[in-house]
Amino acid sequence: MKETRQWNEVARYWRDARPQRLWRAYSDLVHTRLLERWLPAQPASRVLKTDVFDEFAATGLAPFLASRARTVVGLDVSEEMLRGVTGTSSLRRVAADARGLPFRDASFDLVVSNSTLDHFDSLAGLEQALTEIARVLRPGGELLLTLDNLANPVVALRNVLPARPLLATGVIPYRMGASCGPGRLRRLVDAAGLTTVELGTLLHCPRLPAVAAARLLAPHDGPRLRRWFFRGLEAWEALGHWPTRFLTGYFLALRARRER
Amino acid sequence: MAIHPELLEILACPVCKTPVTLVKDGAGLRCAQCHRVYPVRDDIPIMLPEEASVEA
């Protein structure tokens, strides 16, 4: 399958070059903050994470999820990505495509999908994956989803430009896929049989300069540097409370529930 | 180490969603409905239809 080949290649490159280590650590931080805000109060029994790129490239979210759930299942379409996840021994790894989930109905209390479903060629892939997620959630179970926010003009422009030069210059680390804006996402989630509980945005710092700064600072990486650098980047998240949030957020962040 | 029992309990065929059972001394997972057998490599179930073999 094309996706498996593509993500195996990404895994090989990242394993050898280990790029963006500092940036990925910041990405983990903002996503963990979102989970802290949105995770249901009671511990979950089973959690599904729809890809393990976070855990492959840095610490990821699995250790935090493992502290709040009995079982965390990490899915990925790339076997090499799954093999490269070594830091989290409690993660149960499964190779599969999010558009065809290999689980029985109502298997999970929680599905965490962090920029997985914005990597398919068309929105049909996103629709299919949402339907599958709704199927494997138990009634009352929740989906926490992030994906590229096409209402942000920078993201929209990046996604229509030809990928090859962007990849060659390191502007994007891997090929992007089809995504949508907040209104469309709400409709797709609804059509999949889920109810949107909250819809917001994530990652408001200017991404290109931030990634470039992270690359320059990486040789000096340490607890002190992380503290002030991450604090500076996190200050931008205040834009998430502004009415303009859908124009500045890189990711849409959605919390949805399967009612019955 | 084999596939964790908790995971085995929820695994199903990605095509027909029927529960799968361990075969070949734990080296495969078989769907009773469509007879696909999915490989298990280093305890990782490879639940991709193009990786499966079909056994009658």
Residues of chain A contacting B, Cβ within 8 Å = 1, 4, 46, 70-71, 73, 77, 79, 82-83, 92-97, 100-105, 107, 135
Kindly provide the ipTM of the predicted complex, given to two decimals: 0.96
CA-based nearest distance A14→chain B, Å: 21
More confident residue, A40 or A62: A62
What average pLDDT score do residues A225-236 get?
A: 95
Q: What angle do CA B3, B7, B9 make, to 5 degrees?
A: 110
CA torsion sign for A66, A143, B31, A76 is negative
For chain A, percent of residues with pLDDT exceeding 70: 98
Residue B13: helix, strand or coil by DSSP?
Answer: coil
Q: What's the burial of A62, exposed, middle or buried (CB within 10 Å: 0-12/13-18/19+)?
A: buried
Assess if residue A153 is contained within a domain. Answer: yes
Q: Quote the crossing angle between the two packed helices A223-235 and A207-217, to the nearest 10°.
A: 170
Q: Chain B contacts of A79, Cβ < 8 Å?
A: 41, 44, 46
Distance CA B4, CA B14 (A): 19
For chain A, percent of residues with pLDDT exceeding 90: 75
Residue with tokens 């511990």: A43
Residue A149: helix, strand or coil by DSSP?
Answer: strand
More confident residue, A173 or A137: A137
Interchain pair B48, A103: CB under 8 A: no
Interchain pair B6, A70: CB under 8 A: yes
pLDDT at A166: 73
Q: Total domain count for chain A?
A: 1
Picking from A79, A95, A104, the nearest residue to B17 by CB comes out as A104
Going from N- to C-terminal start, the domains of chain B cover 5-54
What CATH number does residue A246 fall under? Answer: 3.40.50.150
Whether B1 shows a pLDDT value over 70: the answer reads: no
Confidence of residue A168 (pLDDT cuts 50, 70, 90): confident
Q: Which CATH architecture has domain B5-54?
A: Single Sheet (2.20)
Q: Chain A contacts of B46, Cβ < 8 Å?
A: 79, 95
Assess if residue A15 is contained within a domain. Answer: yes
In A131-158, which positions are buried (b, 16+ CB within 10 angstroms) versus exposed (e)?
A: bbbbbbbeeebbbbbbbbbbbbeebeeb
Distance CA A242, CA A110 (A): 28
CA-based nearest distance B24→chain A, Å: 18
Assess if residue A174 is contained within a domain. Answer: yes
Picking from B6, B12, B48, the nearest residue to A95 by CB comes out as B48
Contact A142, A197 (CB under 8 A): yes
Assess if residue A209 is contained within a domain. Answer: no
Whether A15 shows a pLDDT value over 90: the answer reads: no
What average pLDDT score do residues A88-105 get?
A: 93
- The mean pLDDT value of chain A amounts to 92
Q: What is the pLDDT of residues A193-225, one digit of tens each?
A: 999 999 999 999 998 899 889 989 989 999 999
Domain region containing A88: 2-20+33-202+239-257
Distance CA A222, CA A29 (A): 15
